Amino acid sequence: MAEAQRPVINLDDVPLRQNGNGGAFEARIGSFGSMIGSTGMGAMLHVVPPGKKAFPFHAHHQIHELFVILEGEGTYRQGDQTYPVKAGDVCAAPTGGPETAHQIINSGTELLKYLGVSTMADTEVVEYPDSNKFGAISRFDWSNPQSGKGVRFVGRTEASLDYWDGEDA
């Protein structure tokens, strides 16, 4: 008989993977909500080196996020405002457009470690105001991106097709 899934994990035991693109974005991240049986909430541990960011400045249309700063110091961007953050601070990231776009930057001298907690959605649109792009995701398998399951598209609105494009038949 298989052992039942434990509903508890210590953050020191969360498996981390490298994330980023080398330049301004670098972090070790670990998604663990599903590992402890969470189905309606996501949870991710972020470990960000000084001067780096885990993710681009972005706004979710469906998913609400909340961040708890565990260690270090940084800057929380939300909309056109910035806020200093340190261990013990909690940051809200509600849904919306550019006015609720958010990003955490390690502006300190030590590792910045924070926990991200979010609602879940099968379908999501994400805006990236700094780069003027958007992402549309539906039923995409994040655990196996090469599976071909679901839809994931990143683009710019200027490249949008007309609704009737290709529908001459």
Residues 6+ apart with CB under 8 A from 91: 66, 67, 69, 76, 78, 83, 85, 102, 104
3-state secondary structure of 83: strand
Is residue 3 scored above 80 in pLDDT?
Answer: no
What pLDDT, on a 0 to 100 scale, did the predictor assign at position 1? 58
Rounded distance between C-alpha atoms, residue 46 and residue 112, angstroms: 8
Dist CA 79 CA 108 (whole Å): 21
- Dihedrals phi, psi of 78, to nearest 5 degrees: -145, 120
Q: What is the C-alpha separation between 105 and 37, in angstroms, rounded?
A: 30
Alpha-carbon distance of 43 to 29, in angstroms, equals: 10
Place 4 in a pLDDT band, splitting at 50, 70 and 90.
Answer: low
Q: What's the pLDDT score for residue 141?
A: 75
Give me the pLDDT at residue 169, please.
67
Q: Give counts: helices (H), strands (E), the chain.
A: 0, 13
Q: How confident is the model at residue 5 (pLDDT cuts 50, 70, 90)?
A: confident
Q: What pLDDT, on the 0 to 100 scale, is given for residue 2?
A: 59
Q: Which residue has the higher pLDDT, 4 or 164?
A: 164
| Residue boundaries of the structural domains of the chain | 15-121
111 vs 4 pLDDT, higher one: 111
Listed residue (30, 26, 32, 63) closest to 46, CA to CA: 30
Give the β-pairing of 81-86 and 133-138.
unpaired
Domain 15-121 has CATH 2.60.120.10: yes
**pLDDT tens track for 36-94:** 999 989 999 999 999 999 999 999 999 999 999 999 999 999 999 999 999 999 999 99
* 121-159 tens-digit pLDDT: 999 999 999 999 999 999 987 666 778 889 999 999 899
Q: What pLDDT sits at residue 148?
A: 83
